[in-house]
């Protein structure tokens, strides 16, 4: 696909995704009372937009990377979800608007998320209330960005956890059973996921050494990785991506909570509105975050 057609497809997909996302949440406004600040923070190349949802001082700050296959999604598509999580957890959340493909291919999103995290860690004392600790979280491609960013910060004592919601962790050529079993399961079909991966990789070959930065299930160095919550959905081409990551983390001795939703599809936690599945995930995340609260 030539550059013009690739960008046109991405543009149209972004519009569609934002319309259906807005429709999913339109009848249930979430936490409109929260104090929210829009910021510009340093990225790898230029400034990035970020949205800060203010929480309480005894909670860790959550850095959030939205999903969307590294191609679609932005601060607004995940605004209702971030508001819901911020309200329930009482944690400050910093949502990051990293660069998207095809305009910016690998490793642009990964580099931006790394730069944003480094800046947030360096400025924790001047941001909205937090207890000096950080959790990195994200869904789908954002779950991938979470794992990749956290893996570079294993020696960082302020990083105390990761939350990875149906994360992307492998190339589709890996052939996980879920990629075949749920190839037609909506909203994330196998053709869409292949397009996401191909679009983000650009000219980077799947087998290239640098691709290990994207395909985190190829990593063997998870020893010392922070306490983690990994969530998967049954009707999801990425089901086995997350399952394999959970196994890998446990084998590395990481304190890992793995929760599988047998009756849900990809996107249930963040993009389908305030459904029963979303509400259960929020309760799960709040319970998982509770031990990270500072008690005086």
78-104 pLDDT, tens digit per residue, is: 999 999 999 999 999 999 999 999 999
- The stretch 2-30 carries a mean pLDDT of 91
Strand pairing category for 61-65 and 228-235: unpaired
Quote the pLDDT of residue 212: 84
Quote the pLDDT of residue 220: 81
Query: Which residues have CB under 8 Å from 111's CB, separation 6+?
Result: 43, 44, 45
Residue 218 inside a domain? The answer is yes
- Of the candidates 79, 139, 236, 240, the residue annotated as catalytic is 236
Residue 157 inside a domain? The answer is yes
For the chain, how many structural domains are there in total? 1
Is 111 one of the catalytic residues?
no
Task: Examine the pLDDT at 14 and tell me if it is beyond 60.
Answer: yes
Quote the pLDDT of residue 295: 66
- The stretch 250-270 carries a mean pLDDT of 97
Residue 296 inside a domain? The answer is no
Whole-number mean pLDDT of the chain? 95
Provide the CATH number for the domain around residue 111: 3.40.50.1820
Q: Which two tokens stand for residue 10?
A: 């991405």
Q: Which two tokens stand for residue 68?
A: 């969307």
Give whole-number Cα distances, 33 to 36, 157, 239, in Å.
9, 33, 35
Task: Examine the pLDDT at 10 and tell me if it is beyond 70.
Answer: yes
Is 236 one of the catalytic residues?
yes
Strand pairing category for 228-235 and 256-265: parallel
Residue 208 inside a domain? The answer is yes
- Of the candidates 110, 266, 271, 278, the residue annotated as catalytic is 266
Residue 170 inside a domain? The answer is yes
Distance CA 195, CA 210 (A): 20
Residue 104 inside a domain? The answer is yes
The better pLDDT of the pair 207, 39 is held by 39
Name the phi and psi angles at 78, rounded to 5.
-105, 10
Range of the domain at 119: 3-291
Quote the pLDDT of residue 206: 92
Share of the chain above pLDDT 70, in %: 99
Residue 52 inside a domain? The answer is yes
Is 182 one of the catalytic residues?
no
Residue 117 inside a domain? The answer is yes
Task: Examine the pLDDT at 114 and tell me if it is beyond 80.
Answer: yes
Worst-scoring range by mean pLDDT, 21-35, 140-154, 216-230?
21-35
Task: Examine the pLDDT at 296 and tell me if it is beyond 90.
Answer: no
Beta carbons within 10 angstroms of residue 123's beta carbon: 11
Quote the pLDDT of residue 1: 52
Quote the pLDDT of residue 205: 94
- Of the candidates 6, 140, 228, 271, the residue annotated as catalytic is 140
Quote the pLDDT of residue 209: 87
Task: Examine the pLDDT at 280 and tell me if it is beyond 90.
Answer: yes
């Amino acid at each position: 696909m030539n550059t013009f057609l690739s960008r046109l497809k991405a543009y149209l997909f972004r519009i569609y995704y934002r319309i259906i996302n807005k429709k999913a949440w339109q009848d249930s406004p979430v936490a409109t009372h929260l104090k929210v600040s829009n910021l510009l923070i340093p990225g790898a190349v230029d400034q990035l937009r970020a949205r800060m949802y203010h929480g309480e001082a005894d909670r860790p700050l959550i850095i959030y990377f939205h999903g969307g296959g590294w191609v679609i999604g932005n601060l607004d598509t995940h605004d209702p979800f971030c508001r819901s999580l911020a309200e329930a957890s009482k944690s400050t959340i910093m949502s990051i608007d990293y660069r998207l493909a095809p305009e910016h291919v690998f490793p642009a999103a990964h580099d931006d998320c790394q730069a944003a995290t480094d800046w947030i860690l360096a400025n924790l004392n001047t941001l909205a209330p937090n207890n000096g600790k950080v959790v990195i979280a994200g869904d789908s491609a954002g779950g991938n960005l979470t794992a990749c960013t956290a893996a570079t910060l294993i020696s960082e004592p302020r990083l105390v956890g990761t939350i990875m919601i149906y994360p992307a962790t492998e190339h589709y050529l890996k052939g996980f059973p879920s990629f075949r079993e749920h190839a037609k399961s909506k909203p994330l079909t196998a053709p869409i996921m292949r397009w996401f991966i191909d679009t983000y990789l650009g000219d980077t070959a799947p087998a290239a050494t640098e691709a290990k930065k994207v395909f985190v299930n190829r990593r063997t160095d998870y020893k010392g990785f922070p306490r983690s919550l990994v969530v998967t959905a049954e009707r999801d081409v990425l089901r086995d991506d997350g399952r394999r990551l959970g196994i890998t983390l446990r084998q590395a001795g990481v304190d890992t909570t793995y929760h599988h939703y047998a009756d849900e599809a990809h996107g249930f936690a963040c993009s389908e509105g305030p459904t029963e599945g979303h509400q259960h995930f929020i309760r799960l995340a709040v319970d998982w975050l509770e031990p990270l609260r500072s008690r005086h």
